[in-house]
Chains A and B, each alone.
Chain A
Amino acid sequence: MTWDEMAPLLVESTLQTAQMILLSTLFTVLIGLPLGVALVVTDRGGLFPSPTLNRVLGVIVNIGRSLPFIVLMIAVIPLTRLIVGTTIGTIASVVPLTLGAAPFFARLVETALREVGRDKVQAAQAMGASRTTIVNKVLLPEAMAGLVAGLTVTVVALISYSAMAGAIGGGGLGDLAIRYGYQRFETTLMVITVIVLIAIVQLVQTLGDVVARRLARH
């Protein structure tokens, strides 16, 4: 393959991967963040203690985390069809990606929130702050460095999941690597794909580290 043939393929696939990751990161945060908060506040001695709910959420999260992504991806195909209308393409792959990453992120959110000292929560209670105020103005801001670090790890995991999603028609760099690198022995393209993937991971990790470090400095 010539460079002129490869370039448009690479650009298109990179954009698809970026789209997949951005969308699935968005939904992962929308689902995983409240789930992580719920895991903390419903625990014994939490702000909204509810042992039953806590146990149910814990089991759901553990199921989500114990399924290998490749299995989860296939298992949720009916759900994907229901939500997106199709099981093929970048948008369709957002469903399994989100379902795979959200429980993972929820656990990281839980860990980050548990790092916030009990005395800070109690100080806020002593001021007469409501429980939602404590979540929004104490727990989340105080855990922000940990949340950003957790999000970084999650996005890196999503990048690797997205390459797998490519294998079942999700498009993106993973799909490119399989179709050209694996099936047609286009070694050059394969190598470039790998380099692009590494670059994206490095970029995300560095960005995450910088932000987390700035937040943690206080």
Chain B
Amino acid sequence: MIDVSGLRKVYRDRGREVVAIDGVDLHVREGEIFGVLGQSGAGKSTLLRCVNLLERPTAGTVSVAGQELTRLGESDLRRARQRIGMIHQHFALLSSRTVAGNVAFPLEVMGVEKAERARRVAELLELVGLADKAGTHPAQLSGGQKQRVGIARALAGNPSVLLSDEATSALDPGTTQSILALLKRLNRELGLTILLITHEMNVIKSICDSAAIMRDGLIEESGAIPELIAKPGSRLTAELFPLPAPEPGTVTITFTGQADEPVVSQMVRKFDVDVNILGGVLEEVAGVSAGRLRLRLTGAERAAALTYLSERGLLVEEAPAAERAGASGISVTSQVEEIA
């Protein structure tokens, strides 16, 4: 639904060049919620603003819903943007207009006639649960209500795609959850594809199907969340299930979906090993329960036990023992890269 390839964006700021995006490919499938994570300054907002060409890419192409936006002239681009909704961290509502007036604005831009406009506005406010606030000015609304207006406004043009730049960052946790639930509902009921930027892990956990992690203008990893979790050394996994840096000789196992099976206890029964659980995190992510366990395994059949775990579909990562690093001889071993 959204295809970005070879994207570069270089800002010229008083003769100095700032490379905000340094060659990014991004593919967002129809009907999915795709989250982009990354530290401040990583280039997330720039990436998002390149998707609807608020920012002209220095190089690369951007296509949305099969239309290559980077080829369009100004008036075609304006028409294409009417089908791409956008919501903003600080809502960006017009304070001179009422709630209904704000939602009507994109319809005015599209040239929808007055009676039809009023009908659509009522429908959209109903959809976001603000039918009773039509005549209110944004200043009289709570943050969550303002974002609902923002969402209603973004949906006015029946977009196939919604872009969201930190839409819940200015909200308290409870309100954040209700906005996320609304986005999820719109995603399901309208088949809306959502590309969102966030720095909150919680947003990724609760509603995203896929994710990408950005750093210094590059995408470090990206893909469907269950697949990312199952990948060795995944930064996303480390951020989703934070565990302290592994001590030498410990084993970290990551599981997605197998949480219901008593794999560890079966392993202990089958092999001559002792297990000491050092830490663990279990969460519902992208609709599946997934988690990580930090274990210390000792015993004669340690190697066989680890092989057994990886055969059962768990990701097994072993921190090298301090004295004989690299000499463990276990093929499934890979170093865990922890992110502070």
Q: A residues near B, CB below 8 A?
A: 117, 119-120, 122-130, 133, 137-138, 141-142, 144, 215, 217-218
Contacts and interface: CB of A to CB of B under 8 A. Distances in A.
7 A-B pairs with least C-beta separation: A128-B81, A123-B92, A128-B78, A119-B92, A128-B82, A126-B86, A141-B96
The main secondary structure of chain B at its interface with chain A is mixed
Interface residues of B, number: 31
Contacts of B157: 127-128
B64 interface: no
Contact of A142 (B81, B94, B139, B163): B94
A122 B87 CA distance: 11
Contact of A218 (B80, B88, B110, B139): B139
B79, B95, B97 pick with most chain A CB within 10 angstroms: B95
A122 B54 contact: yes
Contacts of A120: 92-94
Contact of B95 (A122, A130, A142): A142
Given A119-B92, A129-B78, 12 more contacts: A123-B86, A123-B92, A125-B81, A126-B84, A127-B106, A127-B156, A127-B157, A128-B82, A130-B109, A138-B94, A142-B94, A144-B96
A122 B49 CA distance: 10
A122 B92 contact: yes
Contact of B109 (A122, A129, A215, A217): A129
B95 A126 contact: no
A105 B77 CA distance: 36
A119 B95 CA distance: 12
A127 B79 contact: no
Contact of A117 (B49, B52, B92, B137): B92
Nearest to A129: B109
Contacts of B308: none
Interface string B133-173: 00001110000000000000100110000010000000000
19 contacts: A119-B90, A120-B92, A120-B93, A122-B49, A123-B86, A123-B92, A127-B82, A127-B106, A128-B80, A128-B81, A128-B109, A128-B110, A128-B157, A141-B96, A142-B94, A142-B95, A142-B96, A144-B96, A218-B137
A137 B105 contact: yes
Given A128-B78, A217-B139, A218-B137, A141 B94 contact: yes
A128, A129, A144, A217 pick with most chain B CB within 10 angstroms: A128
Nearest to A143: B96
Contacts of A144: 96
Contacts of A138: 94
B327 to A, nearest CB: 57
